[in-house]
Structure 1
Amino acid sequence: MPLAIYVLGLSIFAQGTSELMIAGLLPEMATDLGVSIPQAGLLISAFALGMLVGAPVLAVVTLRWPRRDSLLGFVALFIAAHVAGALTSDYWVLFATRVVSAFVYAGFWALAATAAVSLVPQNARGKAMSIVAGGLTIATIIGLPAGTVVGQHFGWRAAFWVVAALSALSAIGVLAKIPGGRPTEIPRLRDELRTMANPRLWLSYGTTALSTGSIFVTFAYLGAMLADTTGISEAWVPAVLGLYGLGSLVGISIGGRTSDAHPFRTLYVGAAGMTIIAAGLALTADLPAPAIVLVFLLGAFGFATNPALNTRVFALAGAAPTLATATNYSAFNVGITLGPWLGGIAIGAGLGYASVGWIGAVMGIAMLATVAWAHRLQRGPTVPAPAPQPLAELSHRR
């Protein structure tokens, strides 16, 4: 696997840490900024909003730009937003920097995926995407707790500075290892928009949103459920959450190896596993031993589908994958927003933390239905999907 793929994974790790660490810094940020914890929590929503909009918009804007230049520009803006956030004492300025950070992070995600698959053979796309997306999984295991520890001991602003430094390091890697120049064939917006008219693509987006929602409706309230319902000591909750991260790493590694040769089988197994595990958590939320095992399995089965969800979009998009891939990342963020919102409604209605497991199971069943529908359509006529054009170095001759 080319070193450039790992550089992209490192970049996602650095930026993904910023996405996740706010959840562990809310009390300190609320006190320092003079706002309530719920208002500080809106900084998480601001990031989701930026991600939702940023991926497709920036994919279109940068369609004809050299990919390495675009990636470096996104990282530079991401770093600048974090420096501004670390220096400000105004809540709304910080809110704006979170939107900007997420906006360019989403653009980086979309172009990183396109660049990654252009650097490997078609039968290695899933493995390449598992490495790139694995950066976010490692951010869950290492970045989230490390960011929280840094924030607790040195202030939340220090966590922002660390993310900015990590992002600068990743930019050096992008400059050194990502090929420069434009694609050998410049993408055309007309082709990209024509690809978006494929109904199978939108069915795939639905699968992505439901898969992510099924995971995050439980994950968003996992810490509270473990402490409140399962009865695990708060001191042990981070360790159990670490098991979730470990399961995610195992799952995405396995999914990366199976999604190229067996995409639908990977999706079927992942969706069925997520459904059973979510229902199991709902039934055993008050029993520590099974709940801990199921938390690990939730991460494993949930993230095993990630490479297949990405490679499926590339297969459907053919030679015009940029906008289609970007929209898939928006679909991920629809799930990240929808799942916790539905879970919050259930908990607010007095149904308890275990109810999020049932919601996750229902969303898992819905995901299974979309996979079965897509598989049935797949047996019909389909359009060949050529690999994205490889990156070419710009000539120094004028």
Structure 2
Amino acid sequence: MSKRNNLFIFILTLGVFGILNTEMGVVGILPQIAERFHVSVSQAGLLVSLFALAVAISGPILPLLFSGINRRKVLLFVLGVFVLSNIVSIFAPNFTIALIARVIPAFLHPVYISIALTAAASSVSEKEVPKAVSKVILGVSAGIVIGVPITTFIASATSLDLAMTFFAVVNAIAFMGVLLFVPSMPVKERLSYGAQLSVLKKPIIWQSITAVVFINAATAGVYSYFAEYLETITHISGTALSLMLVIFGVASLFGNVLGGKLLSKNAIKSVVIYPFVFGAVYILLFLMGKFTAPMIIIVVLWGILYAISNNISQYWITSAAPEAPEFANGLFLTAGNLGITIGTTVGGLFISGMGTQYIVLGGLLFLILSLIFILLRTFMYSPNKQLAK
């Protein structure tokens, strides 16, 4: 892969990081946001759940509508909107304005990610496509798990305003990178809307989408309240909380690499086993969450498995619709963010109704539901052949 392609893919990945950091970076500062706007932590969770809902709604639609426009122009437009919306969020006078400023750019989230995945793949030889795409997916993982501890640290060390400024700065740097170093990318060939939409006629795609929705509900439903859980149950806050988030983030980057290797070695078995392994970690979290030392080990395992869910989700949907990869990536984003919306909402209900510790039960419930649909697809579509792969 040439240095020019490496720079190109790095800029695409930086934009992905900025967008995902905007989406999930508030996880670590939800308590501070709730305090600023005088709302409950579960209400502040709407900043995560409604953002994800907007992505889920636009995921299969907007990438199609933007598919005929020069990709460089679209990338600049999306990043520009994210920069402006982040600036508005910093100065928002009330929670409603802050919420609106986050939801508007959320609709454009899947447009950038889909283009980034497609552009990265088309910039290299066929042999190097998996490597290029994995770097963009790494930006997704990094945006979720590295941006959170960075934002949390900035908020605890300085102020909430500076933490939110971090979102705008990263997107602004990505914008300048695209402006200065990314060439014009006119669309030469593209599948018709009908050809891409036809994959929705396949039962396997709906089984896969449902499984991915529940996988992401299981992971986000607990992780979205990570800071609240550690502060309330484990009694960790401030710098110690930031350190735990860093541990989670580093473990997640390792998990991203591990997930790719596991899927390459035996994809179907890896997907089937995943809910069982994550379920065991959630049970440990429920039983040992009050103790700091065990929580360090649990957070490492949690981080690894959280990242693997991204690899599994992307594989499970795109493998069901290989004939329309760009549309499949849009469906992957839609299913994932719909899961985040459902999981975060249900997690908030568990906190309000039963207490923070019991959000783990919601995660376990969604893992069981995901397993049902994973097994349904596995046994309906040549299970013996797939398990042998």
Normalised TM-score (structure 1): 0.82
Aligned with 1:8 (options 9, 12, 23): 12
Aligned with 2:151 (options 141, 147, 151): 147
Aligned with 2:99 (options 72, 80, 95): 95
**Does the 8 Å CA contact 2:47/2:102 hold for their aligned counterparts?**
yes
Single out whichever of 70-79 and 340-349 deviates more from structure 2.
Answer: 340-349
Determine whether 1:376 maps to 2:379.
yes
Partner of 1:80: 84
Letter in 2 for 1:99: V
Partner of 2:67: 63
Aligned with 1:195 (options 189, 195, 199): 199
CA distance in 2, matches of 1:90, 1:143: 24
CA distance in 1, matches of 2:128, 2:382: 23
- SS of the equivalent of 1:131 reads helix
CA distance in 2, matches of 1:208, 1:114: 21
**Does the 8 Å CA contact 1:276/1:361 hold for their aligned counterparts?**
no
Shift of 1:140: 4.2
Letter in 2 for 1:48: A
Partner of 1:237: 241
- SS of the equivalent of 1:112 reads helix
**Does the 8 Å CA contact 2:153/2:239 hold for their aligned counterparts?**
no
- SS of the equivalent of 2:296 reads helix
Alignment of 1:97-176 (within 5 A): 97-120=101-124, 127-151=131-155, 155-175=159-179
Shift of 1:213: 1.5
Determine whether 1:363 maps to 2:366.
yes
Determine whether 1:298 maps to 2:302.
yes
Shift in alpha-carbon separation, 1:254–1:125, aligned structure 2, 3 A: farther
**Does the 8 Å CA contact 2:216/2:339 hold for their aligned counterparts?**
yes
Aligned with 1:276 (options 257, 277, 280): 280
CA distance in 2, matches of 1:324, 1:360: 26
Shift of 1:62: 0.7
Determine whether 1:330 maps to 2:334.
yes
Shift in alpha-carbon separation, 1:218–1:162, aligned structure 2, 3 A: closer
Aligned with 2:216 (options 209, 212, 218): 212
CA distance in 2, matches of 1:369, 1:308: 15
Shift in alpha-carbon separation, 1:40–1:282, aligned structure 2, 3 A: closer
Alignment of 1:18-33 (within 5 A): 18-26=22-30, 29=33
Letter in 2 for 1:322: E
Shift in alpha-carbon separation, 1:28–1:304, aligned structure 2, 3 A: closer
Shift of 1:132: 1.6
**Does the 8 Å CA contact 2:63/2:110 hold for their aligned counterparts?**
no
Letter in 2 for 1:373: L
Shift of 1:261: 4.9
Partner of 1:348: 352
Determine whether 1:186 maps to 2:184.
no
Shift of 1:70: 1.8
CA distance in 1, matches of 2:32, 2:12: 31
Cα displacement string for residues 256-300 of structure 1 (whole angstroms, at most 9, x for unaligned residues): 234345322332343332122112222322333333212211121
Shift in alpha-carbon separation, 1:30–1:163, aligned structure 2, 3 A: same
Shift of 1:73: 1.8
- Percent of pairs with identical residues: 25
Alignment of 1:306-317 (within 5 A): 306-317=310-321
Letter in 2 for 1:265: K
Cα displacement string for residues 149-170 of structure 1 (whole angstroms, at most 9, x for unaligned residues): 4445665444444433322321
**Does the 8 Å CA contact 1:83/1:164 hold for their aligned counterparts?**
yes
Shift in alpha-carbon separation, 1:124–1:203, aligned structure 2, 3 A: farther
- SS of the equivalent of 2:107 reads helix
CA distance in 2, matches of 1:69, 1:300: 36
Partner of 1:318: 322
